[in-house]
Amino acid sequence: SSEMWELDPEELDLVKEVGSGQFGLVWQGQWRHLKVAIKTVREGAMSEEEFKEEAQVMKKLSHPKIVQLIGVCMHRTPMYLVFEFMEGGCLNDYLRSHRGALSPETLLSMCLDVSEGMAYLESSNFIHRDLAARNCLVAEDRSVKVSDFGMTRFVLDDQYTSSQGTKFPIKWSSPEVIKYSRFSSKSDVWAFGILVWEIYTEGRVPYENRTNTEVVEDLNAGMRLLKPRMAPQPLYQLMQWCWKETPGDRPSFAVLLHELASMQEG
């Protein structure tokens, strides 16, 4: 039942604020012996009834390369979502603050970590919908894990959820998502290509000086992001494969994982 993942708020300590997200403030906290991240949910920010149903599914997703949902406190306001704590913070900030200090091996292993997490979600028939460096987190051992999977479905902010909205992640969205809101593992694969580009540019903003409208026009004209200087040619070919116009022409995460693993060996 939905009571199963309810944590006793008495057992949760909010230690210090570490960030602010779509739903509200994020805290570093303690739950029993575990260091945890506590996401507080501002009133009116989330479709709570729908999330409560979905939390049952999300709680069952478990893999070393995805950020684990530990439990929720739904019987209080603001509601708490409790996740495993990730010492390195979000991948985007991590890339930017380590510019010039990341080896080619590190960059490739980051891509491989994300592809492992995503191959797991794909095999669980779970669509992320908002894959980007800002939604990956860095663990204490410097491995990268996928976070915030499926959460955009519960955001009550049209500017963020409508492809016409100012906060909609157009630059990570595939053509069929932009045109028809047609989300799939293949639209996650498109976003993964952009994420690989983010990793190899050490956290640059894709299509930096272009507006959303210009990006859509460029994509329709067949234009794509250029090869990051640090990306080897085979990796750029992989990105371009992720950015095929037709979803069926893109690789699966299972294939991407395999390809990246063979690049690591070679």
Contact set for ligand ADP, span 35-74 (CB under 6 A): 37, 67
Measured from the CB atom, the residue of 136 and 239 that comes closer to ligand ADP is 136
Measured from the CB atom, the residue of 18 and 156 that comes closer to ligand ADP is 18
Q: Please identify which residue in 6, 14, 18, 156 interacts with ligand ADP, judged by CB under 6 A.
A: 18
Q: Which range, of 78-86, 209-217, 225-233, 238-246, touches ligand ADP by CB under 6 A?
A: 78-86
Tell me how far apart the alpha carbons of residues 118 and 109 are, in angstroms, rounded to a whole number.
14
Distance of CA 47 to the CA centre of its chain: 20
**Coil, strand or helix: which one is 185?**
helix
Closest CA to 121 of 250, 249, 257: 257
130 noted as active-site residue: yes
Q: Please identify which residue in 2, 9, 13, 19 interacts with ligand ADP, judged by CB under 6 A.
A: 19
23 binds ligand ADP (CB under 6 A): yes
216 binds ligand ADP (CB under 6 A): no
48 exposed, middle or buried (CB, 10 Å; 0-12, 13-18, 19+)?
A: middle
Measured from the CB atom, the residue of 23 and 236 that comes closer to ligand ADP is 23
Contact set for ligand ADP, span 114-143 (CB under 6 A): 134-135, 137
Q: How far is the CB of 247 from ligand ADP (least distance, A)?
A: 25
Nearest residue relative to ligand ADP (C-beta): 21
Measured from the CB atom, the residue of 83 and 192 that comes closer to ligand ADP is 83
- As beta bridge partners, residue 79 has 41
Please, are residues 68 and 51 in contact by the beta-carbon 8 Å criterion? no
Q: In what order do the strands lie in the sheet with 136-138?
A: 89-90, 136-138, 144-146
Phi/psi region, residue 14 (left: phi>0; alpha: psi -120 to 50; beta: rest), is beta
Measured from the CB atom, the residue of 21 and 193 that comes closer to ligand ADP is 21
Tell me how far apart the alpha carbons of residues 2 and 58 are, in angstroms, rounded to a whole number.
12
- Which residues contact ligand ADP by CB under 6 A? 18-23, 26, 37, 67, 83, 85-86, 89-90, 134-135, 137, 147-148
